[in-house]
Amino acid sequence: MRYEINQSLACLCLSKNPLNVLMWSHYADKHQGFVVAIDTEKAGFDDEAKCLITAPKGDVVYLGSRIKSKLKISQKNIYDTDIISKLLLTKSSHWQYEEEIRIIKKTESLHKEGTVLIDKIIDLKSVTGIYIGINNKGFDEIIKNNNILETLILNKTVQLYQCEFKKSTWDLAIEGYEYTKYPHDMQRMDVFDSVAKVLRAMERNHIGD
């Protein structure tokens, strides 16, 4: 039944914590990427008519041992939410740090491009914030190449946050990130930003005396 499950069910994996250092290291190319904060209700992920398992019901359960009872899955019960929950919402307790939520949909409800399944979000206002990785150097170009996203950011509909290490720890903190579409303003901001980053690095003992 593994083939049937893969063909019938699609799983979107999210995390509750945008500042998890391990998640940034594992899934964001060593802090070079970014995290997108989503309002799951506006994105339609709370809608039981669209999702077999919605975001409010998609908390992963972390277990110290495997489930001993075997699940009997067939074409008749492959969309049964109780079976899906036992099958796809349990993981080893080793992964508990991920604070994962899974949204399950029927593959037939998604758009397929090659081997990739895409769930197109019609309303970009469901994106509430973007957290920029410490080592991300090209985020402004991404914004400039997406007119809708740029408008939402300039209108403050989507908030931008720059990730930084907290002083004397490896924990992450955030500060507001200002984006401007005018190159001359950007160049002037870059000068002040670089000075600010040097000062912050000195405070965190990243630069020797």
The pLDDT tens digits for 86-145 are 889 999 999 999 999 999 999 999 988 888 888 877 778 899 999 999 999 889 999 999
Look at residue 33 and tell me if it is in a domain.
no
Residue 196: predicted pLDDT: 62
Domain around 82: 2-17+43-118
Q: What is the DSSP string of 26-87?
A: HHTTTTTSEEEEE-TTTTTTT-TTT-SB-GGG-BPEEESS---SPP---TTTTT-HHHHHHH
Residue 93: predicted pLDDT: 96
Instruction: Flag residues of the chain having pLDDT under 70.
Output: 183-209
Counting the structural domains of the chain, the total is 2
Beta partners for 68?
A: none
Is the domain of 9 the same as that of 112?
A: yes
Look at residue 55 and tell me if it is in a domain.
yes
CA distances from 28 to 21, 57, 156 (A): 10, 26, 24
Look at residue 168 and tell me if it is in a domain.
yes
Is the domain of 107 the same as that of 144?
A: no
H/E run at residue 147: helix 147-154
